[in-house]
A and B are shown apart, each in its own frame.
Chain A
Amino acid sequence: MSDEGGRVLLLVGSPKGLEKSHSARLGRMVADRLEGRGWTSEAVHLHAAVRTEEGRQELLDAIDRASVVLFAAPLYVDSLPAPAIRALEAIAARRRAGSVSRVPRFVTLINCGFVEPSQNDTCQWILRRFAERAGFEWLAGVSLGGGGQVPKRVREAFDILAESLDLEILVPDEVERLTRKPIMPSWLYVVGGNFMWRRWAARNGAKERLRDRPYERVDS
């Protein structure tokens, strides 16, 4: 896309929106790199878009304008948050209806609170099936773990990803190699994570209730 630059549409599937979510931050990092190469960008918060018919229409119109759709979301129960799925259902229904002719390229950025990026694999699989069924060109699924940490090698991966999108070449395997490795050993993440959860609960006066069972069965 070196002549006139492309247009990247960032779809954010986190309830925390465009300003506060880690998903939006990750997506923005890639979009910023594309803007540095002369691209334009726009962003849509899927939770807000699916609430109204007007929002859904604006989402579909934005997709029709995009050369690359960058889908960024957190992992929720091995899949996407419900409103993000609602958006996929709406997009696929519209595109299957045959009222669109463009085939935007589709890249996903899924992040999870576990340390292993591989825990996003099922969600990425769902997104790949969506892309195939809804008439997008699937390019790459980038999976990140570690609950919000972005090490230098991930930023390097974003550099490579943006370059490949701009040059319209296949996303190099290097992107997966740089993002696929956990940021620390699993056992260390368990120790550190449990310390963090207990401290967070303590700040809310809930540390002693962390193991409460409010819905315990009466016949147990």
Chain B
Amino acid sequence: MARSNPGGAGRAVAIAWPAMGKKALILDGGLDDGAVTRGPGEIAADVLRRAGWRVEALVLREIDVAPCLGCFGCWVKTPGVCVIDDPGRDVARGMVQSDLLVYLTPLTFGGYSSELKKALDRSIPNISPLFRLVRGEVHHVRRYARNPRLVGIGVCATAPSDPDEEELFETLVHRNAINLHAPAHGAMVVCTTEDDEVKRERIERAIEGVIGT
């Protein structure tokens, strides 16, 4: 899997997207040594490459992204750009310039790990502060005309996974897709203990459901 952050913490993140072709950005929120997410991430990258996509993967634990300050400066002072000048800006840029985002995370109480979430928190410059109604509910207006599709892959380190947490993970990705204006989305949970072929089939099916075949 191509990794875009070999320089490690503190360095700028360089994502070299080609001018043409479909681009997928995998955000790997694996904790510790990354053992839980590594396999599913490699499968997802392989599936996408075989489908003709250009794939970049960011191993977030190796990137020094400061926590969001909650200051709203990215909306009302420097619209579209976080006030914190660190690699979090590069990640946010890479996200909005991709055609597909893959949120890859250890299933963490049914949600995202802290490593994935630190990047997502810093991506709010990519939407507008202004409000609109979506099916009667308040959400933010899109900033960009084109926004990436979204696939969430939660990785459960124990088997079997908890059905309640699987449903929660799918709901979370669905809610994110509304707020991030993703034109298509899907989510699934795999277990580290599953057979590799089974994992591949399931990940392939989830990705194809979002990108089309």
Chain B residues with CB under 8 A of A209: 79
Q: Binary interface profile of A, 11-31, with partner B (CB < 8 Å = 1, else 0)?
A: 000111000010000000000
Tell me, yes or no, whether B53 is within 8 Å of chain A by CB.
no
**Whole-angstrom CA separation of A182 from B137 in the bound complex:** 11
Of B36-44, B167-175, B189-197, B201-209, the one touching chain A: B167-175
Contact, CB under 8 Å: A186 / B117? no
Residues of B contacting A217 in the complex (Cβ-Cβ under 8 angstroms): 96-97, 144, 146
Neighbouring B residues of A80 by C-beta, 8 Å:
117
Report the interface size class on chain B: 35 or more
Which chain B residues numbered 142 to 194 have a C-beta less than 8 Å away from chain A? Answer: 143-146, 162, 164-165, 168, 171-172, 175-176, 179
Is the pair B168, A125 in contact by a Cβ cutoff of 8 Å?
yes
Q: Which residues of B contact A201 (CB under 8 A)?
A: 75-77, 79, 129
Assess A126 versus B76: contact at CB under 8 Å? Given A114-B138, A219-B19.
Answer: no
Contact status B81-A214, CB under 8 Å: yes
Interface residues of A, CB < 8 Å — how many?
55
Apart from A89-B114, A129-B162, list 12 A-B contacts with CB within 8 A. A47-B67, A76-B68, A76-B70, A77-B121, A77-B123, A83-B67, A85-B114, A89-B113, A200-B72, A206-B78, A210-B75, A214-B79
Interface CB pairs A-B, < 8 A, 19? A14-B70, A77-B117, A77-B179, A78-B175, A78-B179, A81-B121, A82-B114, A82-B117, A88-B108, A114-B139, A129-B110, A129-B168, A186-B133, A197-B75, A200-B76, A201-B76, A206-B79, A212-B79, A217-B96
B residues lining the A interface (CB < 8 Å): 19-20, 31, 67-70, 72, 75-81, 92-93, 96-97, 108-115, 117-118, 120-121, 123-124, 126, 128-133, 136-139, 143-146, 162, 164-165, 168, 171-172, 175-176, 179
